Amino acid sequence: MDSGIVRILIADDVAMIRDILRSMVTKEGLFTIFETDNGKEALRIYEANTPSIVFLDVNMPGSDGMTVLEAIRANDDSTFVVILSGENSAENVIAAVNSGANGYISKPFSQKNISTILKKYFDSKSTAA
């Protein structure tokens, strides 16, 4: 379905987090990266650009990450959605997983986390193919 460079959407209200995440992601390969600081914009970009991977911060102004996740999952099972959160209660994790998150990364995250999650994405693509 997708051809060429994998598109990634990063949605987090903190610019620094977006910077860190972007730099970590780009260390793992060549991607087209979209960024936004709020949930509404995230959904708009998602609809306009159909990214393959979406990083969603849980706490964002406008529409939070879980709401965006649910909106995406309403009629799309294939987009790889990763939740970013600073609050790692089991409840949150379970809620995210049950809503269809493909990954859950706690803040602060490491290069290893990002590498692992991208590997999971590519593994899922190769097994699906």
Closest CA to 49 of 96, 118, 2, 117: 2
Please say which residue, 48 or 90, places its beta carbon nearer to other proteins.
90
CA 69 to each of CA 4, 18, 48, 82, 120: distance values in angstroms, whole numbers, following the listed order: 25, 18, 16, 9, 18
Three-state SS at 7: strand
Is the Cβ of residue 41 or residue 57 nearer to other proteins in the bound state? 57
Beta carbon nearer to other proteins, 65 or 103: 103
Residue 41 CB, shortest distance to other proteins, in Å, is 25
The type of residue at 84 is L
3-state secondary structure of 30: coil
Residues 66-105 that bind other proteins (CB under 8 A): 82, 88-91, 93-94, 96-97, 101-105
Ramachandran region of residue 29, left (φ > 0), alpha (ψ -120 to 50) or beta? Answer: left
**Total site size for other proteins, rule CB under 8 A:** 22
**13: closest CA among 51, 65, 68, 48?**
65
Kindly indicate which of the ranges 25-33, 60-68, 69-77, 112-120 contains the residues binding other proteins, using the contact rule CB under 8 A. 112-120
Specify the stretch interacting with other proteins by CB under 8 A; choose among 23-31, 57-65, 70-78, 108-116.
108-116
Q: Which chain residues interact with other proteins by CB under 8 A?
A: 82, 88-91, 93-94, 96-97, 101-106, 110, 112-113, 116-117, 119-120
